[in-house]
């Protein structure tokens, strides 16, 4: 089994900021908008280098989504930035009509997704955003796992013609994917090969899945680990090929088990080759205040939870 090394903890939102800065230098059509959270979204470098291509809209997310839609009319590629909660639920109708239904090339970039915003609590966290965005026809949904992958994803989505939801987070997490990785939208990354169970993870839970695989190996269980950075369109071929080999699956995500990655995987299996599945996700609940680590522990979103779910699902084979 391949061991992955944490090259130093970094926040995925900084990966977004770095990717946006690079786009500012390489793609003159890229413009950025923000609703009063420049620091949180790490957009300052882009703004310093391209002040004329930045739009500060203030605390007015609905207007931001509409302006972004309008900027595409004229060939611009707008990247909107705010917290995930205000990027999705607050402006669902604006995204639905002015962006998705209108087929506009807007990149909705959402930080502080999931539980790990921590102390700010449930009003600023969101555990439903993947579901909201994946239900929109034509929307691409991406949830990268670390700094390097978030940077690569940010750069890659500028090349994709169509609306994209890019989800990332606040806390510093392990940075373990290669700096020069090739990011292909819709293509799963096979991180570890195994034969007993498939662990399919997204976002911050990918690193936890790798830790879980190491712990499972010590117990004599061979786990295959797949990083699904693109939840829609889903790489069904990769999932089915793996589950055909292992016969069972654990999905892991920092999201409600309703509407998230797990549900997309379950649908894929049901329609093709039904197999036992366990969900590591939040169970239809709101979050609360706490440190990211405390919240991951309390809501069962860590390596220990993935190990437990793997042992359980293997028994159901």
Partner 1 sequence: MSNTQQLEDFVTQVRRDIVRQVHKVNSGHPGGSLGCAEFLSVLYQEVMQRKEGFDMDGINEDLFFLSNGHISPVFYSVLARSGYFPVEELNTFRLIDSRLQGHPTTHEGLPGVRVASGSLGQGLSVSIGAANAKKLNGDKHLVYSLHGDGELQEGQNWEAIMYAAAKKVDNLIATVDRNYQQIDGCTDDVLPMGNLVQKFEAFGWDVLEIEKGNDIGEILKGLKEAKSRTGKGKPVAIMLNTEMGHGVDFMMGSHKWHGVAPNDEQLEKALAQNPETLGDY
Q: From residue 229, give the alpha-carbon distance in Å to each of 79, 130, 141, 180, 217.
A: 19, 12, 8, 16, 24
Q: Would you say the C-alpha torsion 6, 10, 11, 17 has a positive or negative sign?
A: negative
Stretch that binds partner 1, among 97-105, 145-153, 255-263, 273-281 (CB under 8 A): 97-105
Report the residue number, 38 or 62, with the smaller CB distance to partner 1.
62
Binding residues with partner 1: total (CB under 8 A): 32
Should residue 89 be labelled a site residue for partner 1 when binding is judged by CB under 8 A? Answer: no
Should residue 104 be labelled a site residue for partner 1 when binding is judged by CB under 8 A? Answer: yes
Q: Which of 21, 87, 94, 154 binds partner 1 (CB under 8 A)?
A: 94
Q: Which of 60, 190, 271, 283 binds partner 1 (CB under 8 A)?
A: 60
Q: Which of 8, 25, 49, 58 binds partner 1 (CB under 8 A)?
A: 58
CB of 96 to partner 1, least distance (A): 8
CB of 92 to partner 1, least distance (A): 11
Q: Is the peptide bond before 309 cis (omega within 30 degrees of 0)?
A: no
From the list 22, 49, 52, 61, the catalytic residue is 61
Should residue 98 be labelled a site residue for partner 1 when binding is judged by CB under 8 A? Answer: yes
Three-state secondary-structure class, residue 251: strand
Should residue 57 be labelled a site residue for partner 1 when binding is judged by CB under 8 A? Answer: yes
Instruction: Specify whether 297 is catalytic.
Output: no
Q: Distance (Å, rounded) from C-alpha 281 to C-alpha 279?
A: 6
Give which of 191, 210, 205, 273 is closest to 236, Cα–Cα. 273
220 conformational bin, left if phi > 0, alpha if psi -120 to 50, beta if neither:
left
Should residue 162 be labelled a site residue for partner 1 when binding is judged by CB under 8 A? Answer: no
Should residue 308 be labelled a site residue for partner 1 when binding is judged by CB under 8 A? Answer: no
Q: Which of 41, 65, 127, 309 binds partner 1 (CB under 8 A)?
A: 65
H helix runs in the chain, sequence order: 12-26, 38-41, 44-49, 61-72, 84-87, 92-94, 129-134, 147-157, 205-218, 236-246, 261-272, 292-298, 303-315
Stretch that binds partner 1, among 51-59, 108-116, 147-155, 168-176 (CB under 8 A): 51-59
Q: Distance (Å, rounded) from C-alpha 125 to C-alpha 115?
A: 6
Q: Distance (Å, rounded) from C-alpha 239 to C-alpha 220?
A: 23
Q: In sequence order, which residues have a C-beta less than 8 Å from that of residue 222 and are 6 or more positions away?
A: 1, 194, 195, 196, 197, 216
Facing residues of 277 across strands?
249
Phi, then psi, of 56 in degrees rounded to 5: -90, 110
Should residue 27 be labelled a site residue for partner 1 when binding is judged by CB under 8 A? Answer: no
Q: Which of 96, 160, 187, 308 binds partner 1 (CB under 8 A)?
A: 96
Should residue 69 be labelled a site residue for partner 1 when binding is judged by CB under 8 A? Answer: yes
CB of 37 to partner 1, least distance (A): 16
Should residue 172 be labelled a site residue for partner 1 when binding is judged by CB under 8 A? Answer: no
Q: Which of 1, 7, 44, 70 binds partner 1 (CB under 8 A)?
A: 70
The residues assigned a catalytic role are 61
List residues near partner 1 by CB under 8 A: 31, 52-53, 55, 57-58, 60, 62-76, 78, 93-94, 96-98, 101-104
């Amino acid at each position: 089994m391949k061991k992955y090394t944490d090259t130093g903890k970094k926040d995925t939102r900084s990966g977004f900021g770095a990717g946006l800065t690079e786009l500012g230098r390489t793609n003159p059509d890229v413009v950025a908008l923000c609703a009063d959270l420049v620091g949180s979204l790490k957009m300052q470098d882009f703004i310093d280098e391209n002040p004329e291509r930045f739009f500060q809209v203030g605390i007015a997310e609905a207007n931001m989504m509409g302006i972004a839609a309008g900027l595409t009319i004229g060939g611009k590629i707008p990247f909107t930035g705010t917290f995930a909660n205000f990027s999705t639920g607050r402006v669902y109708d604006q995204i639905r009509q002015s962006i998705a239904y209108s087929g506009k090339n807007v990149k909705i970039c959402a930080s502080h997704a999931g539980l790990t915003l921590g102390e700010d609590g449930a009003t600023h966290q969101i555990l439903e955003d993947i579901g909201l965005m994946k239900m929109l026809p034509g929307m691409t949904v991406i949830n990268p796992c670390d700094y390097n992958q978030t940077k690569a994803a940010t750069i890659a989505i500028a090349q994709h013609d169509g609306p994209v939801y890019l989800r990332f987070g606040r806390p510093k997490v392990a940075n373990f994917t290669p700096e020069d990785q090739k990011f292909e939208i819709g293509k799963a990354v096979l991180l570890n090969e195994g034969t007993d169970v498939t662990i399919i993870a997204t976002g911050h839970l990918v690193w936890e899945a790798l830790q879980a695989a190491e712990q499972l190996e010590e117990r004599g269980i061979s786990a295959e680990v797949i990083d699904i950075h693109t939840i829609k369109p889903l790489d069904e071929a990769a999932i089915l090929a793996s589950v055909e080999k292992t016969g069972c699956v654990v999905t892991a995500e920092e999201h409600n088990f309703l509407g998230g990655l797990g549900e997309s995987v379950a649908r894929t299996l049901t329609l093709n080759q039904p197999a036992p599945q366990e969900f590591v996700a939040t169970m239809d609940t709101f979050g609360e205040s706490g440190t990211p680590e405390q919240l991951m522990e309390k809501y069962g979103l860590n390596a220990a939870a993935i190990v437990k779910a793997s042992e359980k699902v293997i028994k159901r084979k």
